């Protein structure tokens, strides 16, 4: 399934604003940056895969994996009115999907993106 276009960041200014005023956490394979924006209707996401990440087919694979992660875990976000940028680090192309997912989720928790499950008495 394709991530709808309405969830994509398309403006260079948006990427720049997330970088300068947002929060970021770095993991082993990904850097996750976010910026809350009440004017947004829904989550806007962007992916950065530079040549340092690997060859073209590796970068495409990483983008497909990042899209799958957002589709799987974004419904569990505490607040969806935000920008979210996922940046691939060197070595991410050699990681398995499970390793990428674990690292991505770890950074999302550190940024406070995921809703806390309600505690049961």
Q: What would the two tokens of residue 118 be?
A: 């309600």
pLDDT per position as a tens digit, 107-120: 999 999 987 655 44
| Structural domain includes residue 120 | no
Instruction: Specify if 116 maps to a domain.
Output: no
Residue 118 in any domain: the answer is no
* pTM for the whole structure: 0.88
> Is residue 117 a part of any domain in this protein?
no
Strand order in the sheet with 23-26: 23-26, 30-36, 82-88, 44-48
81 assigned to some structural domain? yes
Residue 62 tokens, joined: 């990483």
User: What is the CATH classification number for the domain harbouring 89?
Assistant: 3.30.230.10
Q: Is residue 121 in a domain?
A: no
Q: pLDDT tens string for the chain (121 positions)? A: 567 777 888 889 999 999 999 999 999 999 999 999 999 988 999 999 999 989 999 999 999 999 999 999 988 888 889 999 999 999 999 999 999 999 999 999 999 998 765 544 4
Measured between alpha carbons, how far is 41 from 100 in angstroms, rounded to an integer? Answer: 28
Full residue range of the structural domain in which residue 76 is found: 5-110
Query: Is residue 115 situated within a structural domain?
Result: no
Query: Which helix (H) or strand (E) covers residue 97, if one does?
Result: helix 97-110
- Residue 8 pLDDT: 87
In a domain? residue 72: yes
Say how far apart CA 61 and CA 44 lie, in whole Å.
20
CA trace torsion 89, 91, 93, 95 (10° rounding)? -110
Number of domains into which the chain is organized: 1
């Amino acid at each position: 399934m394709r991530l709808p276009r309405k969830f994509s960041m398309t403006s260079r200014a948006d990427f720049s604003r997330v970088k300068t005023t947002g929060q970021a956490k770095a993991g082993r394979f990904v850097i996750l940056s976010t910026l809350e924006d009440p004017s947004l209707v829904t989550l806007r996401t962007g992916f950065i895969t530079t040549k340092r990440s690997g060859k073209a087919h590796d970068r495409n694979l990483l983008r497909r994996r990042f899209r799958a992660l957002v589709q799987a875990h974004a419904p569990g976000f505490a607040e969806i009115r935000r920008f979210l940028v996922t940046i691939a680090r060197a070595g991410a192309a050699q990681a398995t999907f499970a390793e990428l997912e674990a690292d991505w989720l770890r950074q999302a928790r550190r940024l406070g993106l995921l809703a806390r499950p309600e505690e049961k008495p």
